[in-house]
Amino acid sequence: MQNGIPISDFRVGLLDFRRIMFTAVLVAVVIGGLIFFLVQRSRNQVLKTENGWWGPGVPPDAEEDITIRSFKVTTSDEELEDLYRRIDQTRPVSSLEDSQFNYGFNSHYLQKVVSYWRNHFDWKKQVDKLNQYPHFKTNIEGIDVHYVHVKPKRVPEGTCAIPLIMVHGWPGSFYEFYGLIPLLTEPSDQGDLVFEVVCPSIPGYGFSEAPQKKGFDSVCAAHIFHKLMKRLGFQQFYAHGGDWGWLVTTNMAQLEPKTVKGLHVNFAPPSKPGLLMVLSIMLGRRFPKLFGFTEMDVERLYPCMEKLVVESIKESGYMHIQATKPDTAGRGLNDSPVGLAAYILEKFSTWTDHDFRNLEDGGLTRKFSLDDLLTNVMIYWTSGCIIPSMRFYKENFGKGLDVPHAKIPVYVPTGFACFPNELMHTPKLWVKQKYHNLISFSPMQCGGHFAAMEEPQLMAEDIQTFTKTVEKKTKKQ
């Protein structure tokens, strides 16, 4: 007997306890091993794509021409005369009384913009400004890819310039980064990193040739930009993007995670909502701390449901058109410079600050100069790229939401600059659902969708901080 229990029963109980413990440990080991396997498999999962041919006809038998050609933006008197003739023949339309920008671009203010464009805007001067940085073209997969490549004038002794590719979106262009480039290539602070910057035009945008075949989406653009960076001699580099540039650079990180040393974005809408995100939406207002929500998160995420739906409808009409029938609407914009300006500049108003819709001038010149805005419009007009730029929506949305890259997490070190007036607010919790190695999450003081153009100083500082952190971690490893 032991403590009143027969020895035989005690031994049986002890044996059962050991079996239970052994089984529990075995189950824990199996579950732990399974979790480890799944995590490792996820980490090793990369986005896959194949070489394409986006030029006319069938690909030639000859090897791909890898020549890099110098390029300059040019203009002519004939080009300007055609522009002025079309502007002069536009038919003005009156805006409704007290409508501001709530019906789209206010027609009365549009007349003022057009008058400035026609009589004061100096396109030849802006062409010189565009050419202040070196431009190049190279043929990749059958199309000429345009890019700006800016090397720093001076690199501190004992250091190397950090290669960085920056990718724009719609209705922007490579010109969005012109205020940011000198802050990165010629920083004023001696402790800052010096960057070597490459700003390509997405094929079908700006001075990059448009794909001639269906199916050219963000993954195809990412694949081409990887080829571009390798052709320039970069084995590793950093990437930055906003709007479509966010998705293209994210796909670059998914395609070749060892090549993209760090990813910095200022736009990151959730691609595939999971259970945690759904729970955070349902409970985040009542229990914000449970999900790490800040005051800004709560303020941006929880207007009344009616307001949320209405706001979404107000600002997404263009997307439905471009994701379904881009050629129809695009044809009119390609013929009318005034129509093109209204269509593009309206986004620079409402996407910079929703409240600008209630202003007679749309708040356009509160954040940008008319010269800069019209330069962006002229890049679309002179290159005739509005239709192929709109097709990019159909190529991406036409494949549905269940695309391979939506399921693959990003493990490349990532930095997110969270600007308060961005179209869609993304809390840190949501960003981490996609970007599993989130190094920095920076709530910014001000700025909207076109942050690189609107707040270049803030953007440069955040890119510097993020890159320094990654570089420091890399050296330690």
Residues annotated as part of the active site = 243, 393, 449
Q: How far apart are CA 375 and CA 174, in angstroms?
A: 11
Q: Where are the alpha helices (DSSP H) in 120-217?
A: 123-130, 181-185
> Shortest CA distance to 218 belongs to which of 194, 245, 237?
245
CB atoms within 10 A of CB 83: 18
| The pair of three-digit structure tokens given for residue 135, joined into one six-digit string | 């431009």
- Cβ burial, residue 212 (10 Å; 0-12/13-18/19+): middle
Residue 265's DSSP bridge partners are: 241, 416
Query: What is the CA 72 to chain-centroid distance, rounded?
Result: 26
Residue with tokens 């038998």: 61
Phi, psi of 345 (to 5 degrees): -70, -25
CB 227 within 8 A of CB 165: no
Q: Does residue 56 have a cis peptide bond before it, meaning omega lies within 30 degrees of 0?
A: no
The type of residue at 167 is V
To the nearest 10 degrees (0 to 180), the angle between helices 305-322 and 386-397 is 120
Give the tokens for residue 39. Answer: 């995590």
Tell me which DSSP letter residue 409 carries.
Answer: -
Q: If you ran DSSP here, which 8-state letter would residue 300 be given?
A: H
Residue 246 CB-density burial (10 A; 0-12 exposed, 13-18 middle, 19+ buried):
buried
Close Cβ partners of 278 (under 8 Å, ≥ 6 residues apart)? none
| 118-126 contacts, C-beta under 8 A, 24 or more apart | 118/84, 118/87, 118/88, 121/370, 121/371, 121/374, 123/75, 123/80, 123/378, 124/75, 126/371, 126/374, 126/375, 126/378
CA-nearest of 279, 356, 371 to 315 is: 356
Tell me how far apart the alpha carbons of residues 250 and 239 are, in angstroms, rounded to a whole number. Answer: 9
